[in-house]
Amino acid sequence: MRTITAAIGLLALAAGAGMVKADEQVFGYVRGAETLPRGASEVVQTLTRRADKGQGTYEALDSKTEFERGLTDRLSAALAVKMQAIETKGLLINAYIPKDEDYGLKPSGVEGELKYNFLSPAKDPIGLAALLSLDYAWLDPHSGQDKDTLSMELDLLAQAYFLDGQLIWVGQAGVESTYAPRDGVDDLPADFEWPTEPEMEIEVKLGTGLSYRFAPNWFIGGEALYETEFETEVGQERWSVFAGPSLHYASGRWWATLAWFPQIEGGGEFYDGQQD
């Protein structure tokens, strides 16, 4: 799987040209420890393209529109609406993709989160924050089929500035738990596996990133993320390592980030035709 993510944030305060301030997303996937100041607001629009399953046709577009508000100087809250578009053709995978699907952007879920900053990377040697998020979705992002999913994720975020803010390091460790019943699908091939019993999943993730300001307002960097997922019946279902570059620009009251995040390694259950 290869993903490309683009995010644009509009701030109700100046972002500045030096150290990253407020809750700018310097990377595409790994989060930093900064929070919005009290009374500050931010709207972030994120678009993610997902493609390539090793066979057939697989194209997906995810949209996330988020409003974030600084409740205190340490605590931020955010609400988001998610949408997705998907096209799959000639790609059937037991318990994963049951049939061809093709539709444009439509609502797929909602998300709420709280982020609390224990230590500020701008004031302390290292910044630390906790991020709690609740997510409810009614469309499966992989198959595009109807699937009610309720997820809770808790992350510990670390961030540090070096060279007077010219170099930024972030680290992330998190656990996500998911409850997901699926609707039945009509006219499946004989002996095709598509369980409708509720699933319980636990995902563990570890990520890190490093970004360097090479010109006023411009940052270039790289990030890596390890994910492993444990499912009700099969134990460790899969593990993956993603890594790729990111480009970030911040000026005045807005910022933008572009990231490319291909899967480097992975393991677990394989399907026929899957690339190693």
Instruction: Look at residue 166 and tell me whether its pLDDT is greater than 60.
Output: yes
The predicted pLDDT at position 15 comes to 36
Residue 122 has what pLDDT? 85
Cα separation, 257 vs 211, whole angstroms? 12
Enter the pTM of the model. 0.84
- Rounded-to-integer distance, Cα 133 and Cα 130, Å: 10
* pLDDT for residue 117: 95
Higher local confidence (pLDDT), 86 or 9: 86
Q: What is the pLDDT of residue 172?
A: 98
Q: Is 36 exposed, middle or buried (0-12, 13-18, 19+ CB in 10 A)?
A: buried
Q: pLDDT-based confidence at 92, cuts 50/70/90?
A: low
On average, the pLDDT of the chain sits at: 84
End-to-end, the C-alpha distance of the chain in Å comes to 11
DSSP labels for 193-244? ----SPEEEEEEEEEEEEEEEEETTEEEEEEEEEEEEEETTTEEEEEEEEEE
- Residue 246 backbone phi and psi in degrees, to 5: -140, 150
